[in-house]
Amino acid sequence: MLDFRLKAFRHWQKMKMPNWAHLDLPDINFQDIIYYAAPKKKKQYESLDEVDPELIETFNKLGIPLEEQKQLAGVAVDAVIDSVSVKTTFRETLAELGVIFCSFSEAVAEHPDLVKKYIGSVVPYTDNYFAALNSAVFSDGSFCYIPKGVRCPMELSTYFRINAANTGQFERTLIVAEDDSYVSYLEGCTAPQRDENQLHAAIVEIIAHDNAEVKYSTVQNWYPGDKNGIGGIYNFVTKRGICKGDHSKISWTQVETGSAITWKYPSTILKGDNTTGEFYSVAVTNNFQQADTGTKMIHIGKNSKSTIISKGISAGKSQNSYRGLVKVARKASGVRNFTQCDSLLLGDECGAHTFPYLEVDNESAIIEHEATTSKIGEDQIFYCNQRGIDTETAIGLIINGYAKEVLNKLPMEFAVEAQKLLQISLEGSVG
């Protein structure tokens, strides 16, 4: 492990900050960053009364239970008996099936062979600047292993995992799905997280063997900075999966509403034959937020298929970019790709950009790309007004309708929260 970190660190020292993205990046002083945040780093409050009332208001709008509110806001809470027992039964059920779901540090200690075999196999430390940084300093994260032939009976969520809180800014997630297995994995939280950490550089690696299916859903709502663009999280994440075996499938679904700057491209390498890669994304930017997000679909296997649906929503003075690569290798015959990129603008000071890249080396590939840019129409809002619906609610309805194709891909309870989240993120953005 130390060896892996050191190699990564030496490599990182030789690298430079990337500057190709359509982002306005401030310089980051990497010496100033605290690389290991012990769980008590977050400020602890005695009671909810001390917490920012704006935060509490948002919690209430999202309908988050009181106990959970306390945990999220960093109020000292005694262990909630109920949730401990839930966690225990949860773990027992998984253990019976042979599913391993634990923190990364536990995995290093208990399953060193598995970790060694797969870590860095999809995202090598040489991959990019932030991946190298993460590989050198990652603090903890999640490890998930689904044995052959097992359909994981529940959605695996970091929320349920013991020790999930305060895993820090350099998380690493590794998911391995053996032959004929299935898992749906949820990451993130719809509640706004105020965190002292400025930089989050996480890595997610997924390996899907023959006939395996992995569904990875994210709802990201890190602190985006205030209305004037002061503060906020920089979220630079490398997420990549490999459909290693034939007939395997990896599906990414993401709802991105937070962070001052988001830089991430959940990607899939379609190595096996007849594999499927999917990417469904909604990215919302408001005020001074910047997002540069999209996907890469690397088709290597024959008859591999990919679908990309990206919905960008920009408001305020924000910038929202889709950047995607579809690559078809010379020997990959019968490849199909469909890409749809839609942008919705609110107001006239925001920007939406689309940067699709296509590299096709096999003549039999069928690649489709559709893109639209639209504004919420005055006439749509007036139509809602005339039915008694005020403008703010009308925008919420229209936005959720626009993002429906993606929200439908989320697990049920996540989808409901994500809908509310979209509405809240855009509150006050139309005068």
* Residues that bind another protein in the complex, under the rule CB under 8 A: 377-380, 382-391, 393, 397-398, 400-405
Given the complex with another protein, which of 18 and 377 has the nearer CB atom?
377
Q: What is the Cα–Cα distance from 278 to 334, expressed in whole angstroms?
A: 17
CA distance 272 to 241: 12
The CA-atom distances, in angstroms, between 287 and each of 107, 148, 293, 352, 394 are 40, 47, 18, 14, 20
Measured CA distances, 301 to 121, 127, 176 (Å): 18, 22, 19
- Smallest gap, in angstroms, from Cβ of residue 398 to another protein? 6
CB-nearer residue toward another protein: 26 or 377 = 377
Phi/psi at 339 (nearest 5 deg)? -125, 135
State the minimum distance, in angstroms, from the CB of residue 44 to another protein.
Answer: 39
H helices within 44-103, ranges in order? Answer: 53-62, 66-73, 81-97
**Which is nearer to another protein, 362 or 400 (by Cβ)?**
400
Distance CA 265, CA 240 (A): 8
Q: Which is nearer to another protein, 280 or 402 (CB)?
A: 402
Beta partners for 281?
A: 254, 310
Q: Do 266 and 238 meet the contact criterion of CB atoms below 8 Å apart? A: no
Smallest gap, in angstroms, from Cβ of residue 319 to another protein?
24
Rounded to a whole number of angstroms, the minimum distance from the CB of residue 400 to another protein is 7
- Could you tell me the smallest distance in angstroms from the CB atom of residue 379 to another protein? 5
Least Å distance, CB 377 to another protein, is 7
Residue nearer to another protein on the CB measure, 65 or 388: 388
**Minimum distance from CB of 297 to another protein (Å)?**
25
State how far the Cα of 326 lies from the Cα of 296, in Å rounded to an integer.
6
**Quick one: 401 or 428, whose CB is closer to another protein?**
401
Closest CA to 308 of 287, 291, 292, 293: 293
Residue 57 CB coordination number (10 Å): 11
Nearest CB to another protein, comparing residues 248 and 419: 419
